[in-house]
Amino acid sequence: MIKKILISIFISLLLTSINTRAQDTTKNDNIKTDWNFGLLPVITYNTDLGLQYGLLTNIYHYGKGDIYPSYYHSIYAEVSRYTKGSGIYRLFYDSKYLIKNIRTTFDLSYLPDQALDFYGFNGAQSVFNDVWQDDSHSDYKSRMYYKHKRNIARGKFDFQGSTKVNNLNWATGLILQNIEVATVDVDKLNKGKDDKDTLPHVNTLYDDYIDWGVIKDKESDGGFFTSLKAGIVYDSRDNEPNPQKGLWSEIVVAQTFNTDFTFTKLAITHRQYFKIIDNKLTFAYRVGYQGVIAGDIPFYALPTMVYSYLPSSNSDGLGGSKTVRGVVRNRIVGKGIIFGNLELRWKFTEFRFMKQNIYLALKPFMDFGQVVQEKEVDKTGIPTTINQSQYFNSGGDKIHISYGAGFHVAMNQNFIISADYGVPMATQDGDKGFYIGMNFLF
């Protein structure tokens, strides 16, 4: 796979950043006022999904600059798609000032995915045979063997307000989500390919699980969900985009309703930031638990993470760009998981370019995660001709660890482009991961 092109993206960040009013008239040139936005092209290529193209922008309103680097309103929009159907269509809004004394966030997204990763359940209990997706190996099945199709239409509405305790907020939210699940559309992905690159018409792991009864018929094609969540949040960060000190901890309970399933999920997340060198070096960590504490959850809802506030379009875990970087996406999936991230963030240079405040930052990191509540796996329907040791391991899950480094370009404190490269410690968790996106991880 050819990844997004770092240099061109960062140049585009600098060349397309626009401020609607010049700052030369202010005594402090670093203070931003009025409307400000950055614009980025999205360019990537995948052998099976095709060319990805599109644009994203984040627009900030700083008013008179009296609360800078905080903002009055933030609007994020992205339209990007692969030529063979996957994509991101998203509008995200965030403000502490739309409703007096209440932080208001909403997210409207359509997220079609022609090839979502699927490796089974309970982490290390599911065997990952990399050679089955290696088209140069004699045991090759399909490059899509560990994939399935998933389309999400989602509306999220989150609110936070203060309590009488300093830095302690209440949080509530509503999520309306329709998830469509199906096997990979091989014919669609094969269009325009040379014979040597075409995908074979064979079962994927998702298809096998349905045939064996591991995935039940009533959950095999997705469904519509309504989720209500409520919790408390303690937030003493000195700067949201890249804090130097403070705590950000939360306890959230989400109740989800569906015509076939009802379940309750508990999410506990703690984040802490330590200033080592003022405005230069910070140590940050995040630890969390997410688990089903009541009800019956369908397989396709297992990876969904719950937070009081999520600026990212992707809420899947564990594994991938937003949780355990370097580990393949959704490798660590169960009814309950623990996870953590450690980062040493070094802001090594700051400068002004085209009237914008720019800083560059580097960070080494280490991530980890583990299933602590297993999803029940019914193997009674698996034919005796199948060698189960090729699909399942005995014993519980073990901790999955990855490590790597990241690079960040920030404009006006809030518009932050991130590039992370992670490597898993175990070959069963994949090879490596390279990700370009928005913002620090937490």
- The per-residue DSSP string of 391-431 comes to TB-SS----EEEEEEEEEEEETTTEEEEEEEEEESSGGG-S
Convert the pLDDT of each residue in 211-231 to its tens digit.
999 999 999 999 999 999 999
- Summarised one tens digit per residue, pLDDT across range 242-262 is 999 999 999 999 999 988 899
Q: What is the pLDDT of residue 3?
A: 41
Distance CA 141, CA 138 (A): 9
pLDDT band at 312 (very low <50, low <70, confident <90, very high): confident
Token pair recorded at residue 422? 């992670």
| Residue position matching structure tokens 């991130």 | 418
Q: Angle at Cα 138 formed by Cα 135 and Cα 144, nearest 5°?
A: 35
Entry pTM: 0.89
Instruction: Tell me: pLDDT of 22 over 80.
Output: no
The whole-angstrom separation of Cα 51 and Cα 83 is 5
Q: Does residue 339 sit in helix, strand or coil?
A: strand
Over range 413-427, report the average pLDDT.
94
Distance CA 157, CA 55 (A): 24
In this prediction, residue 25 carries a pLDDT of: 33
Q: Shortest CA distance to 103 belongs to which of 157, 155, 159, 156?
A: 159
Token pair for 190: 């094969």
Three-point CA angle 287, 292, 298, nearest 5°: 120
**Residue that is written with structure tokens 């999410």 in the block:** 267
The closest of 212, 151, 209 to 179, measured between CA atoms, is 151
More confident residue, 405 or 30: 405
At 32, give phi and psi (nearest 5°): -100, 145
Q: How far apart are CA 178 and CA 333, in angstroms?
A: 20
In angstroms, how far is CA 203 from the centroid of its own chain? 28
- pLDDT(28) > 70: no
Mean pLDDT, residues 114-141 taken together: 96
Q: Over the stretch 153-162, which tens digit does the pLDDT of each residue have? A: 999 999 999 9
Q: What would the two tokens of residue 335 be?
A: 């009814």
- Residue 18, pLDDT > 80, answer no
**How many Å apart are CA 352 and CA 388, to the nearest integer?**
60
- Position 13 scores a pLDDT of 43
Average pLDDT, the chain: 91
**pLDDT tens-digit series, residues 261-291:** 999 999 999 999 999 999 999 999 999 999 9
Is the N-terminal amide bond of 69 cis, ω within 30° of 0?
yes
Cβ-based neighbour number of residue 241 at 10 Å: 18
- 3-class secondary structure, 209: helix
Tokens coding 115: 């090839």
For the chain, what is the largest distance between any 2 Cα atoms, rounded to a whole number of angstroms?
78
Alpha-carbon distance 72 to 67, whole Å?
8
What is the structure's pLDDT at 195?
A: 86
Confidence of residue 328 (pLDDT cuts 50, 70, 90): very high
Q: If pLDDT is split at 50, 70 and 90, which confidence band does 357 have?
A: very high
Q: In the structure, what pLDDT confidence band is assigned to residue 311 with cuts at 50, 70 and 90? A: confident
Asked if residue 40 has pLDDT above 50, the reply is: yes
pLDDT at 24 over 70: no
What is the C-alpha separation between 272 and 346, in angstroms, rounded? 16
- Upper half-sphere CA count for residue 6 (Cβ side, 13 Å): 11
Q: Is residue 369 scored above 90 in pLDDT?
A: yes
CATH number of 6-438: 2.40.160.50
Q: What pLDDT does residue 175 have?
A: 96
Closest among 132, 136, 175, 178 to 156, alpha carbons compared: 175
- Partnered with residue 290 across adjacent β-strands are 267, 337
Residue 62: CA count within 13 A, CB half-sphere: 24
Six-digit token string for 241: 């985009």
Per the document, the length of the chain is 442
Q: Give the pLDDT of residue 46.
A: 67
Give me the residues paired with residue 410 across strands. 359, 416
Per-residue confidence at 17, pLDDT binned at 50, 70, 90? very low
Sequence ranges of the domains in the chain: 6-438
Say what the alpha-carbon torsion angle 323, 328, 334, 339 is, to the nearest 10 degrees. Answer: -30
Backbone angles phi, psi at 211, to 5 degrees: -60, -35
The predicted structure's pLDDT at residue 47 = 65
The pLDDT assigned to 12 comes to 45
Residue 23 has pLDDT above 60, yes or no: no
Distance separating alpha carbons of residues 144 and 149, to the nearest angstrom: 10
Pick 29 or 328 by higher pLDDT: 328
Least confident of 50-59, 138-147, 374-383: 50-59
14 in Cβ contact with 358 (< 8 Å): yes
